[in-house]
Structure 1
Amino acid sequence: MRRPRFVDLSRFTLKYIFNWRFRIAEFTKKSELYKKAVEKFLFEDDEIIVIPNTISVNKKIESEGSEFLPTEIIKEVIKRCDDIVIMNSCLCRTSNNCQDYPQDIGCIFLGPTSKRIPEHIGKKASVEEALEQVDRADEAGLSHIIGRNKIDTVWMNVRPGKGLLTICHCCPCCCLWKVYPNLDDDITDKLERLDGVTVSLSEENCRMCKKCLDEVCMFNAIGLKDNKITIDHDTCRGCGLCANTCKFGAINIDYTEEAVDNIVNRLEDLIEIKEL
């Protein structure tokens, strides 16, 4: 008897709570008490990492004689998981009727808790199907966010949260992209740039087309000063969407040599869901 109630709750959340997300986010900046309540209910213990889109990256990462691109990090996590569910479609892009990116490329959920996700939200998938989904998202120019995201366990009404890892394929239409600027800094700090990622701007290549200013950056890190494009490196999370948008190679994504160890260490932390 539990299943119908569980499904109805998730559908109610999709229909009503999703439409309130902007107002909920805005109030986190106006009330400390309200912010703490929202943070505990929707963002407690979150650890979310932005992985740049592969086509944005100028060079591969060399490690122990081999080379790999950032999305290989995601693929390694997928390969180590037995329980995988792929969302039937992207909730954000379908809700916003996104015309720039595919609406049928939904999130990937990993871990034992994913088995409790109802079928009207997502279907059980094989490792091969999940890897193909990552490739499709990469080819479409989407950036990836991977981590434990409590809000997913809330809107889908699944538990335990530590048994669910979410891989989002994001575009400027995505819920997080839209809501992020309205959230308090204590909450947005949970969204991290992958260690070692740097974003650089080549003024020589810039043609001032200003396409990178058209609501591409969810972090508002791209700006205009003295008629020049600028990047706020303190707020930038290295998603790579600005690099994808630039057709003249003026914005570049790179890695430092220390990035490899940081990536491997973080990968080990993320795959602890296997042990639950």
Structure 2
Amino acid sequence: MRKISFADINIFIVNYIFNWRFRIAKLTKQSKIIRKIIDKGLFEDDDVTVIPNTIKINKTIEAEKSEFIPTDILKEVIEKIDDIVIMNSCLCRTSNNCKDYPQDIGCIFLGPTSRKIPQNLCHKASKKEAQDHVDKADAAGLSHIIGRNKIDSIWMNVKPKEGLLTICHCCPCCCLWKVIPQLDDKISDKMHKLDGVEIAIDNSKCIDCMKCLNEICMSEAISFKDNAIQINQNKCRGCGLCVNICKQNAITLKYNDKSIDSIVNKLQNLVEL
């Protein structure tokens, strides 16, 4: 009989309280003391960047004779790190019993701390396998986030957290970060849009089908005002899920020159584990 690990116990707890996450997040706005406790316990030193899903994005970023689409950023990071594991399933989607997106597309964890993750939860992967996993997640319609998440080191009971880099593949219905609108800004601001990315709406193409309003946007940046779909750029995290859901091609994801600097700077910072 396999010995029960702390991670097994933590998974049981997470599965049990997963649907309470919105209530817990709201408490961060109601009490400064609770916000500080939750921030210290679950989000301390977090730094997370959203990488858009690229299925409907044709534009590449040209820099120094190289071309990038957003997921190439993830592949570049993977290429620079030797310790790689892929989780056997997505904790968020299994906890939520997701029916719309694959539960077996789990996070990728990078860095020396990933060696300590219980082997029953993951498997060691080559760089090529991890890069293919990113493409698989992309094809499934998932957006990506990359960064250091303290909560990952907690539920898996692994340390130090500084040696663990997370690449999550997020669906709009189950992602833990769907709590962003309920979190206090001091916590939610730790999840960034990739610099230079902007979601734009062409209302001349929009037929007001409202599909982009049906819980697609994790940050609740899309609204219907003055008889038109509008996107709040201050709230938008640039995940690109609304781009994929729009059958009229009325929503597009655009870049500007800031994206190039963002790619270079993020790569330099994140690979220094």
| TM-score calculated relative to the size of structure 2 | 0.94
Determine if contact 1:52/1:143 at 8 Å carries over to the other structure: yes
Partners of 1:69 and 1:204 in 2: how far apart?
27
Match of 1:59 in 2: 59
Match of 1:236 in 2: 236
1:180-220 CA distances to partner (integer Å, 9 max, x unpaired)? 22211111000000011111111111111110000000110
Match of 2:72 in 1: 72
Aligned residue type for 2:26: E
Match of 1:106 in 2: 106
SS in 2 for 1:199: strand
Match of 2:210 in 1: 210
After the TM superposition, which residues 161-240 of structure 1 pair with which residues of structure 2 at under 5 Å, given as runs? Answer: 161-240=161-240
1:209-245 CA distances to partner (integer Å, 9 max, x unpaired)? 1100000001100000022100001110100000011
Determine if contact 2:91/2:106 at 8 Å carries over to the other structure: yes
Question: Unaligned 5+ residue runs, structure 2?
Answer: none
Determine if contact 2:19/2:96 at 8 Å carries over to the other structure: no
Aligned residue type for 2:198: T
Match of 2:123 in 1: 123
Partners of 2:247 and 2:19 in 1: how far apart?
34
Aligned residue type for 1:83: D
SS in 2 for 1:272: coil
1:134-191 CA distances to partner (integer Å, 9 max, x unpaired)? 0001111110000000010111111000000000001112232432222111110000
Aligned residue type for 2:77: V
Q: Closer, same or farther in 2 for the Cα pair 1:232/1:76, shift >3 Å?
A: same
Aligned residue type for 1:42: L
Partners of 2:63 and 2:8 in 1: how far apart?
48
Match of 1:84 in 2: 84
- CA RMSD for the aligned pairs? 1.5
Aligned residue type for 1:52: P
Partners of 2:236 and 2:7 in 1: how far apart?
37
Match of 2:133 in 1: 133
Match of 2:145 in 1: 145
Partners of 2:81 and 2:243 in 1: how far apart?
31
Shift of 1:105: 0.6
Shift of 1:11: 3.6
Partners of 1:4 and 1:50 in 2: how far apart?
34
Match of 1:94 in 2: 94
Question: Unaligned 5+ residue runs, structure 1?
Answer: none
Partners of 2:5 and 2:136 in 1: how far apart?
34
SS in 2 for 1:29: helix
Shift of 1:90: 1.0
Partners of 1:140 and 1:8 in 2: how far apart?
27
Shift of 1:121: 1.9
Partners of 2:56 and 2:47 in 1: how far apart?
23
Aligned residue type for 1:172: P
| TM-score calculated relative to the size of structure 1 | 0.93
Match of 2:28 in 1: 28
SS in 1 for 2:173: coil
Q: Closer, same or farther in 2 for the Cα pair 1:204/1:58, shift >3 Å?
A: farther
